[in-house]
Each structure stands twice: as structure tokens, then as C-alpha cells.
Amino acid sequence: MRAVVTVNLKNGVLDPQGEAIKTALGSMGFGGVEGVRQGKIIELDLADGTSEAEVTEMCEKLLANTVIESYSVQVT
């Protein structure tokens, strides 16, 4: 069983790394980029029987800073 957790900064939270990426892309000649928001993807290999609720608890306690980040969970 596998879970994929996608974590991104919430709207309205400044993203200096995203701005640095945007600037770098512009300096490389990619002028069509109007904005960049960066995030992270966490892949978890889970034991059978691990519930999506447990993965959500992992996100709430460790994987995401819920004050400034949002997350989504996909269990397959």
C-alpha cells in the first residue's frame, strides 16, 4: 500500500523559494512564467491495513506545518 502526500504553502503565505525559481527561470530565458509556488511530495510505503485517517494524523503531527501549509493525501 502506498500513500502520496502533497504539501504546499497556503494561499497568501509568501513563497521566497518560489520567487527565486521564477527569477532563475526568467534569467534563463523562460519569460512566460508569471508565478511559481513550490511544495513537496512525500511518498509513504505503508503496511496493509494502514488507514487514510492514520496518514492524515501523520500529516497533522509531522509532515505538514498546518499553520502555513495545506496538504492532500492519496492512498493507493
CA distances from 42 to 31, 35, 53 (A): 30, 23, 16
Residues 63, 5, 18: CA angle, nearest 5 degrees: 80
Domain spans of the chain?
Answer: 2-75
CATH topology of domain 2-75: Mth169; Chain: A , (3.30.1280)
- Can you give the pLDDT at residue 5? 98
User: What is the chain's pLDDT, residue by residue, as a tens digit (76 residues)?
Assistant: 999 999 999 999 999 999 999 999 999 999 999 999 999 999 999 999 999 999 999 999 999 999 999 999 999 9
- Can you give the pLDDT at residue 4? 98
User: What's the grid cell of residue 44?
Assistant: 509513504
Give the pTM.
0.87
Separation between Cα atoms, residue 13 and residue 23, nearest integer Å: 18
- Can you give the pLDDT at residue 22? 97
Alpha helices by DSSP H, listed for 1-76, are 16-27, 52-58
- Can you give the pLDDT at residue 8? 98
